[in-house]
Amino acid sequence: MFQYRAGQIKTFFRQWQLQSMVIPGIIWMIIFCYIPMFWLIISFMDYSIAKPLLESPFVGLKHFQDFMTDDRFWRSIRNTLGMSIIKLVLGFPIPILFALLLNEIRNFRFKRTVQSISYLPHFIAWTIFGGIMLNWLGEGGVINQLMMALGLQEREILFISDAKYFWWITYFSDTLKEAGWSAIIYIAAISGIDPALYEAAELDGANRWQRMWHITIQCIRPTIAILFILAVSGMLGSNFEQIFMLENNMNIKMAESLDLYIYNMGLVSGRHSFSTAVLFARSIVALGLLFLANYASKKLTGDSIF
Amino acid sequence: MKRNLIKLGMTIVLAVILTLSMAACTNSENSENTPTSQPTDSTQQPQGESTPNPDEPAWQLDTSPVDLTWFVGANWYAHTWGESFTSKYITEKTGVNVKFEVPSGEANEHITLMMTSGKLPDLISMGSWETAVKKLWEGDHVYALNELAEQYDPYFFKVAGDGTLKWYRQENGNTYGVPNDSYSPNLMHETGMTAANQTFLLRKDLYEDMGRPDLSTPEGFLGALQLLKDKYSEYKGQPISPFLAQGNVPYGMTDYLQNLLAVPHEKDGKVYDRITDPDYITWLKTFRTAYERGLINVDFLVDSDTQVEEKTNNARYFMMIREWTGMTAVNPMLAASENPDSYYIAVDGPQNSNGDSAKLFPGNMDGWMVTMISKSTKNPERAIRFLTYLTSEEGQRDLFLGKEGETWEMTNGKPQLKTEMVELLETDIEKMEKQYGILDTYWMMRNPVIVNQWRPEKAPVIKQMEDFANGQADIDSGIYKGLDPLGDSDVAVTWSRISQNWEEVLPELITAKDDAAFDKVFENFLARRESYGFDKVMEYRQSELDMRKAKMAE
């Protein structure tokens, strides 16, 4: 047993360059992800920020029962799932398609330019990008002017204040901002494919579509599977910053997601225990989704995280 | 074997995490608890320093340099200490150098986070209505000012008005904060200055061009909007926004509009449910009609602060339910523009069916912000002395007027700002505040009773609004400010659910397709409110009001 451990330590030192890159990450995770978990305990207490933790009384599952009977909680579940499903079904394939199309471009400079432009919006913070969106969609905005010039509508529509557009606005603005960036990982995976495969396929008479289908997609399948599993497990955590920027009193019916609900209940209304309970429940469900997606992916494609 | 090893490793990691997190907790508790004993421990005072005299300010005893951090709970506060003339002068005089901290977002959230970390700035100024204020007091995060004053600077009791100290006294007999801009009803009756802020504003040129239409009745209001749409829909190539309500639902379209309609706060000693008032409903329906006819848009319900500011600066609003103090910079600018009549004037806005004039909200005992001394401070004695100095007439004069001979001089025994300064006030407020730091630059401790006597006459375009508000102020209504439950008690949770729901419901009311739909939405809201437990809120308001009346009678 000791020998085995000594061997491990030796390996550790031999790989010190690699290890020194991993260790800060692990320390970060312990400090910012694991230690804060201890505070989940306040979801079972009537915690008041003004008093020390141990003086707060235990109330068991009271807060969990409270949010289960709150219609606003259920509304926020519906909105979160609604937005996430749109994003998953219509949004998830877009970076893949984009990467595939980009891969077919032979002009190297053009390809690079398109790619660079596509991921630029990712570096703009949502506070700014959201502001741009509000301007485009608002009174006198580009979209209204365009629609009116084309005779598609008579009166200006404040898209952002009409709840029925909200899910679609989040979908389009998110795709606009992130699709290029998300494609990078697929582009990287594609560039790792052995060119010999294509050459062989070409000799066998495979056309472009066949090469794309039988080689490119097959080779990046594991990447797709892993990203899909992560996307499914993140379904309950919709993009907080985005919704926070675009939300207002007129569209909150369709806009309040679970994250925003937790924020509104916790920081705005000061119900820390209550919002921690919601957060706790959300994390458990998200964990369940992760296992579910992982299992499904393993069964269907053979690729999985664990 | 391998499996066992992994298990062992996992256990160790978990154990470490647990210990670490426990340690983290106990640490923060310790740091919260230790300073409590400080103020009662009189041996802490530096040796060789004479005991403070209750008739003399104690700041003169020690003018060695010291840094104090000062949290100003307003994210728009953009002034610094140490660059302006006044701040340098005060630092030289007292030895206190101030470092301002402002929240990046909401002050309440910011200070709440600071409370959890147990590390607070030395001085804290927060809106008196913010829930965090109560938490700071109850959680023993700030010093009781009376205790600190007794020990380090009894002169404090001389300068801090007895009325305000009493008003903020808690059940345990302690006072934790000093308010600024606090007005007692007696003072307002005496001076006629009511600090009323609320006005109904209209763009002067359009109003006069239209022949001064009557806006106090629903018919007149809708008529004026129709005229606006037909004849004046654009200004400088951009569409006119017919209407703005400041802070929209929680403020402009609710309390504020109710004040314009003179909806009472109580009837026969019972707290009145103002939202159900028939006049208020009539006017909400008027707004609905205006929306249905395309006379107003919903922009005022969704626009961000920047969008509102942009429209205001370009005089793109026709009318506004808005505090006149928000227009002090804009109005002179508009009056000096190529269209000098495009500034805003206060006129009679919506009125109730009896045609009563508005009952605008005046200044009140709560004041605006309260300033506290946190227990995290290393220099409680310097902090209380500095606070005493700022509260005293001398400090108020230094802060408001600057240094004698430089920015002001004595004429006929009365301090008077130099003419250059008065000119600067009219032409370039920004420069005046940045370079000289006088007048309202540092308002955190502003006492209106003292400083208003030194205030130069306001420009006519501002004075018109102020006089209008003073004339319609309901001086004795200050007692009704903030009757609603705050914090995280059950009744406060109920109230926050109701008020958040109201914020969603009001836009629905305005955009309802007809009056029947309006009634339905409103009835649903009342039923929902009932199911949340609205009667508890009413009970709370009543008991709060009874308590305040007793306090006032003291």
The DSSP annotation for B207-258 comes to HHHTT----SSHHHHHHHHHHHHHH--EETTEEPEEEEETTTTTIIIIIIHH
pLDDT at residue B319 above 90? yes
- Please report whether residue B417 resides in a domain: yes
Are B347 and B379 in the same domain?
no
Domain termination site, one of B334, B359, B384: B359
Taking contacts as CB-CB distances below 8 angstroms, the residues of chain B near A268 are 106, 109
Please tell me the predicted confidence (pLDDT) of residue B162. 58
CA separation, residue B442 to residues B194, B294, B398, B419, B434 (Å): 21, 44, 11, 21, 11
Q: Give the CATH number, domain containing residue B98.
A: 3.40.190.10
The C-alpha atoms of residue B114 and residue B126 are separated, in whole angstroms, by: 13
Query: Which residue, among B384, B362, B369, B390, has the nearest Cα to B451 in the 3D structure?
Result: B390
Summarised one tens digit per residue, pLDDT across range A162-175 is 888 899 999 999 99
Are B233 and B127 in the same domain?
no
Are B226 and B331 in the same domain?
yes
The C-alpha atoms of residue A238 and residue A170 are separated, in whole angstroms, by: 10
Closest Cα in chain B to A268: B109
Opening angle at CA A22, ends A21 and A26, nearest 5: 135
pLDDT at residue B339 above 80? yes
pLDDT at residue B46 above 50? no
List of residues 6+ apart from A224 with CB closer than 8 A: A96, A186
Q: Give the lowest-confidence range in A245-254, B38-47, B317-326.
A: B38-47
- Using a CB–CB cut-off of 8 Å, the residues of A that contact B are 1, 4-5, 30, 34-35, 38, 48-54, 72, 131, 134, 138-140, 155-156, 158, 160-161, 248-250, 252-253, 264, 267-272
Query: Which residue, among A131, A202, A35, A152, has the nearest Cα to B304 in the 3D structure?
Result: A131
Are B498 and B449 in the same domain?
no
User: Is the CB of residue B188 less than 8 Å from the CB of residue B195?
Assistant: yes
- Tokens 């809106």 correspond to B127
- Long-range contacts (CB closer than 8 Å, 24 or more residues apart) made by A104-109: A104/A208, A104/A212
Are B82 and B176 in the same domain?
yes
The C-alpha atoms of residue B450 and residue A108 are separated, in whole angstroms, by: 74
Share of chain B above pLDDT 90, in %: 24
Pairwise CB contact (< 8 Å): B249 & A48 = no
Please tell me the predicted confidence (pLDDT) of residue B38. 42
- Please report whether residue B43 resides in a domain: no
Pairwise CB contact (< 8 Å): B301 & A161 = yes
The C-alpha atoms of residue A297 and residue B281 are separated, in whole angstroms, by: 57
Could you tell me which residue, B9 or B509, shows the higher pLDDT?
B509
Closest Cα in chain A to B114: A49
Residue to mutate among A4, A79, A128, A139, with most B CBs inside 10 A, is A139
User: Is the CB of residue B299 less than 8 Å from the CB of residue A139?
Assistant: yes
Please tell me the predicted confidence (pLDDT) of residue B15. 53
Q: Kindly state the average pLDDT of the residues B530-535.
A: 92
Share of chain B above pLDDT 70, in %: 90
pLDDT at residue A70 above 80? yes
pLDDT at residue B476 above 50? yes
| Inter-chain CB pairs, A–B, below 8 Å | 99
- Burial B24-45, CB ≥16 within 10 A → b, else e: ebeebeeebeebeebbeeeeee
Could you tell me which residue, B197 or B522, shows the higher pLDDT?
B522
Q: Give the lowest-confidence range in B157-171, B339-353, B444-458.
A: B157-171
Say whether A54 sits in a helix, a strand or coil. Answer: helix
Closest Cα in chain A to B497: A269
pLDDT at residue A28 above 90? yes
Say whether B320 sits in a helix, a strand or coil. Answer: strand
Pairwise CB contact (< 8 Å): A138 & B307 = yes
Residue to mutate among B130, B500, B509, B528, with most A CBs inside 10 A, is B500
Four-point Cα dihedral A183, A184, A189, A191, nearest 10:
110
Residue to mutate among A4, A79, A250, A254, with most B CBs inside 10 A, is A250
The C-alpha atoms of residue B312 and residue B343 are separated, in whole angstroms, by: 10
Please tell me the predicted confidence (pLDDT) of residue B10. 52
User: Is the CB of residue B97 less than 8 Å from the CB of residue B66?
Assistant: yes
Are B221 and B347 in the same domain?
yes
Pairwise CB contact (< 8 Å): A50 & B112 = no
Instruction: Give chain A's domains with CATH numbers.
Output: 54-301 (1.10.3720.10)
Are B204 and B255 in the same domain?
yes
Residue B169: CB atoms within 10 A of its CB come to 15
Share of chain A above pLDDT 90, in %: 26
Are B216 and B353 in the same domain?
yes
pLDDT at residue A2 above 80? no
Residue A105: CB atoms within 10 A of its CB come to 13
- Tokens 């001076």 correspond to B191
How would you classify the pairing of strands B317-323 and B241-245? parallel
Radius of gyration of chain B (CA): 27
Residue B183, judged by CB atoms within 10 A of its CB (0-12, 13-18, 19+), counts as buried
- Burial B263-302, CB ≥16 within 10 A → b, else e: bebbeeeebbebbebebbeebbbbbbbbbeeebbbbbbbb
Pairwise CB contact (< 8 Å): B297 & A250 = no
ipTM of the complex: 0.76
Question: Please, what is the angle between helix B278-292 and helix B515-532, to 10°?
Answer: 130
| Dihedral of alpha carbons B118, B121, B122, B125, sign | negative
Taking contacts as CB-CB distances below 8 angstroms, the residues of chain B near A254 are none
CB contact B292 to A (< 8 Å): no
Q: Kindly state the average pLDDT of the residues B390-419.
A: 82
Please tell me the predicted confidence (pLDDT) of residue B516. 94
- Please report whether residue B88 resides in a domain: yes
Opening angle at CA A106, ends A101 and A111, nearest 5: 65
pLDDT at residue B429 above 70? yes
Please tell me the predicted confidence (pLDDT) of residue B36. 40
List of residues 6+ apart from B530 with CB closer than 8 A: none
Pairwise CB contact (< 8 Å): B131 & A53 = no
List of residues 6+ apart from A171 with CB closer than 8 A: A83, A86, A87, A90, A91
Pairwise CB contact (< 8 Å): A161 & B29 = no
Q: Kindly state the average pLDDT of the residues B474-503.
A: 84
Pairwise CB contact (< 8 Å): A49 & B496 = no
User: Is the CB of residue A39 less than 8 Å from the CB of residue A283?
Assistant: no
Question: What is the extent of the structural domain holding B487?
Answer: 483-553
Question: Tokens in use for B153?
Answer: 């600077």
Residue to mutate among B298, B486, B489, with most A CBs inside 10 A, is B298
CB contact B487 to A (< 8 Å): yes
The C-alpha atoms of residue B394 and residue B384 are separated, in whole angstroms, by: 16
Pairwise CB contact (< 8 Å): A50 & B141 = yes
Are B159 and B71 in the same domain?
yes
Are B447 and B321 in the same domain?
no
The C-alpha atoms of residue B392 and residue B462 are separated, in whole angstroms, by: 29
CB contact B309 to A (< 8 Å): no
Query: Which residue, among B323, B352, B373, has the nearest Cα to B146 in the 3D structure?
Result: B373
Are B237 and B314 in the same domain?
yes
B52 to chain A nearest CA, in Å? 33
Alpha helix locations (H) across A120-271? Answer: 126-137, 142-149, 166-191, 195-203, 208-211, 218-233, 240-246, 252-255, 258-263
Query: Which residue, among A108, A303, A169, A191, has the nearest Cα to B302 in the 3D structure?
Result: A169
Domain termination site, one of B434, B453, B472: B453
Share of chain A above pLDDT 70, in %: 98
- Tokens 């009543």 correspond to B542
Please tell me the predicted confidence (pLDDT) of residue B23. 44
Cα diameter, chain A:
81
DSSP A35: G
Residue B529: CB atoms within 10 A of its CB come to 21
Question: Please, what is the angle between helix A93-104 and helix A108-119, to 10°?
Answer: 160
Looking at the 3D structure of chain B, how many domains does it have?
A: 3
Question: Tokens in use for B541?
Answer: 């308001």
Please tell me the predicted confidence (pLDDT) of residue B41. 42
CB contact B490 to A (< 8 Å): no
Residues 12-51 of B with CB under 8 A from A: 17-18, 20-22, 24-25, 29, 32-33
Say whether B414 sits in a helix, a strand or coil. Answer: strand
Are B350 and B425 in the same domain?
no
- Please report whether residue B380 resides in a domain: yes
The C-alpha atoms of residue B542 and residue B483 are separated, in whole angstroms, by: 8
Distance of CA B296 to the CA centre of its chain: 29
- Please report whether residue B478 resides in a domain: no
CB contact B5 to A (< 8 Å): yes
pLDDT at residue B251 above 80? yes
pLDDT band at B47 (very low <50, low <70, confident <90, very high): very low
User: Is the CB of residue B330 less than 8 Å from the CB of residue B459?
Assistant: no
Summarised one tens digit per residue, pLDDT across range A73-127 is 999 999 999 999 999 999 999 999 999 998 888 888 998 899 899 989 999 999 8
- Tokens 């990008």 correspond to A129
- Please report whether residue B98 resides in a domain: yes
Pairwise CB contact (< 8 Å): A249 & B503 = yes
Question: Tokens in use for A242?
Answer: 């985005």
Please tell me the predicted confidence (pLDDT) of residue B64. 83
- Please report whether residue B49 resides in a domain: no
Question: Tokens in use for B484?
Answer: 């609603």
Question: Tokens in use for B312?
Answer: 């205001």
Summarised one tens digit per residue, pLDDT across range B212-244 is 999 999 999 999 999 999 988 888 888 889 999
Taking contacts as CB-CB distances below 8 angstroms, the residues of chain A near B500 are 264, 269
Pairwise CB contact (< 8 Å): A51 & B504 = no
- Tokens 């490119």 correspond to A216
The single-letter code of the amino acid at B210 is M
CB contact B531 to A (< 8 Å): no
Domain termination site, one of B306, B340, B359: B359
CB contact B550 to A (< 8 Å): no
Q: Kindly state the average pLDDT of the residues B415-440.
A: 78
Could you tell me which residue, A189 or A8, shows the higher pLDDT?
A189
The C-alpha atoms of residue B356 and residue B375 are separated, in whole angstroms, by: 50
Please tell me the predicted confidence (pLDDT) of residue A137. 86
pLDDT at residue B542 above 60? yes
Please tell me the predicted confidence (pLDDT) of residue B8. 54
Pairwise CB contact (< 8 Å): B302 & A49 = no
pLDDT at residue B7 above 70? no
- Please report whether residue B35 resides in a domain: no
